[in-house]
Amino acid sequence: MVLKDVRAKVEKTWTTTKKLLALMSVWGLVFSLVTISRLGAAFAYDDTLVHSEASFEHAAHSVQQAGSPEYWRVVNNSYDRESPKIVPFALAMALRGFGFRILILAERSGTGGEALKKEWRHLAPRGFVFVPNPEDLHLHLEGGRYVLFFGTSDRQMLEARKAGVYALRVRRDPEDAGAGAYSPGRLGEPVVPFSQY
Reported as type and span, the H/E element at residue 181 is: none
How high is the mean pLDDT in each 10-residue block of the chain (197 residues)?
85 93 93 92 94 90 86 92 94 96 94 91 92 90 91 92 94 74 86 90
CATH no. for 38-192: 3.40.50.1000
Cβ atoms of 118 and 150 within 8 Å: the answer is no
Give residue 3's pLDDT: 81
**Does residue 82 contact residue 46 with C-beta atoms inside 8 Å?**
no
Residue-level pLDDT at 12: 93
* Whole-number pLDDT of residue 179: 65
* Per-residue pLDDT, 178: 62
Annotated domain spans of the chain? 1-37, 38-192
State the sign of the Cα–Cα–Cα–Cα dihedral 13, 14, 18, 19.
negative
Q: Check residue 151 and give its pLDDT.
A: 93
H helix intervals, 38-197: 53-62, 69-76, 86-97, 114-119, 137-142, 154-163
pLDDT at 177: 62
CA of 188: how far to CAs of 80, 164, 183, 184, 185, in Å? 35, 15, 10, 9, 5
